Amino acid sequence: MHSQCPPYYNQFWQSPPNTPNTHTSSMNNGNSYFANNGQNTIDSDVLKKLLNRLDNIDKKLGQLDLITAKITNIAERLTCIEKRREDIEKSQNFLADNYETVSKTAEGNKTNIINIKRDLKTMADENLNLKQTNNSLKEDVIDLKCRSMRDNLLFFGITEVVDNNQPSIGTTVNASGGTQTASGEPLDASGDTPNAAMGSATYDRSRAEDCVSKVLRFCREHLQITDPESVIQIDRAHRIGRYQRNKVRPIVAKFKDSQSIMCTKNALRRVDLRRTPYNVIEQYPAEVLERRKSLVGHMMQARRDGKRAFLVRDRLFIDGRPFIPTSTPPQ
């Protein structure tokens, strides 16, 4: 049994050489049964228990390395966690230090946004008022134009014949044989000054023809007005538009009173000029003409439906009621 144990176990059981074994002598003096048979059984049980305990201790001591390694790993992780905690704490302190500044800045931005919204609303209201005022002024200007043109009629198709040898009214013949205005500005081949704007009303060439006489002759021959010179009074008449070859410009005639223009309009209702090269219409501003053009389709559709429809300046009346278009006019 002792030979199977480690050396230090043998030393434990062996007595020193010179020391008397009191336990042996005591056992020898006792009962021979315990001395001979029971001694081996007791020693064997004790040894087994001791060996088992020692084996358990060895196993537990063997686990100390694993425990130490785990503790070292935990310590390293705790160190890392501590470092991260310190970093988080520093970041938190930084955020705390800047929170007040950011909060003040956000509050200031909020106030600025409120002020900007208020100013924007004020500007939007002012812009709306300006638009309304502008539209009102535009309508007033259009109304003034219409009023200034209410005694005017446009005559289309009247032949334009000009005597090129006769200088226009308001011009003189210079020494070189050319024509010039009263202010001395030369006239070009079309009868206009070189600086005349394209499309503007030109009178120099049209003044060489008597447009008033041509309008009165037209009223007599085509509108069948008896003695128009006595019943129609024309303030002035002239061609409008820039002179172009092979193109007849219309004549605008301004009547002196409403009786003269009403006489002409009544005569127009009695005759049919649709099969002739002539036409007579009222003069309107460009804005009114555009509006009338957009209402013609609705007027024709209403007439096809058997309704009474007519235009008054830039307004359409159907069966005596003003019509407000809400859709695209029919073709």
pLDDT bin (cut points 50, 70, 90) of residue 69 is confident
Name the pLDDT band for 93 (thresholds 50, 70, 90).
confident
Q: What is the pLDDT of residue 193?
A: 40
**Domain residue limits, the chain:** 152-283, 284-331
**pLDDT the model gives residue 184:** 41
Calculate mean pLDDT across residues 285-297.
92
Instruction: Give the pLDDT of residue 59.
Output: 81
Q: What is the CA radius of gyration of the chain?
A: 62
Higher pLDDT: 239 or 194? It is: 239
Beta bridge partners of 311: 316
Indicate the range of 38-47, 78-87, 282-291 predicted with least confidence: 38-47
**pLDDT for 162:** 59
Residue given tokens 């009621």 in the structure block: 321
Could you tell me where the DSSP H helices lie in the chain? 7-13, 22-29, 32-33, 39-149, 211-221, 228-231, 258-270, 286-304
Q: Tens digit of pLDDT for each residue in 123-143?
A: 999 999 999 999 999 999 999
- What are the φ and ψ backbone dihedral angles of 328, each rounded to 5 degrees? -70, 135
Nearest partner of 169 among 212, 216, 205, 213, judged by Cα:
205
Highest mean pLDDT among 49-53, 61-65, 308-312: 308-312
Percentage of the chain exceeding pLDDT 70: 72
